Amino acid sequence: MSERQAVELRYERERKTLVVEFDNGESFELPAEYLRTHSPSAEVRGHGLSEPRLMRGKDNVDITAIEPIGSYAVQIVFDDGHDSGIFAWSFLYDLGRNKDVNLARYAERLQQQGMP
């Protein structure tokens, strides 16, 4: 896969959804909760975990800031204080392309752990 570039980011606060459009014309709607629970940070990903750590209480999380990191990524600041994830364009693209599968797997894992 060639490296994708984001050409537009728009946060729709009322829907708590980040809309990301890429240079190939694809556009994804990424809810704040999804971005928080699938953050590329060590808190969520650990060091080498194949799947993100399960988290509770993130269903109402909001994004307070989106800061550019060079021309390759953004740092997303959440209202729960989390701000250590650097979301590269390729990572956001992957989250968008695989959102349904990722969310279904996350819900399955929560259920397996008895977490609502």
pLDDT (tens digit, 9 = 90+) per residue, 6-63?
Answer: 999 999 999 999 999 999 999 999 999 999 999 999 889 887 778 899 998 899 999 9
Whether residue 1 lies inside any domain: the answer is no
Tally of domains within the chain: 1
2: pLDDT strictly greater than 70 = no
Q: What is the pLDDT of residue 1?
A: 46
Exposed (0-12), middle (13-18) or buried (19+): which is 48, by Cβ within 10 Å? exposed
Q: What is the pLDDT of residue 96?
A: 97
Q: Which domain holds residue 20?
A: 6-112
113 or 78, greater pLDDT:
78
Closest CA to 25 of 6, 2, 1, 3: 6
- CATH number of residue 31's parent domain: 3.30.2020.30
Rounded to the nearest 5 degrees, what angle is found at the Cα of 86, between the Cα atoms of 80 and 48? 95
pTM, entire model: 0.93
**How many CA atoms lie within 13 Å of 86's alpha carbon, on the beta-carbon side?**
7
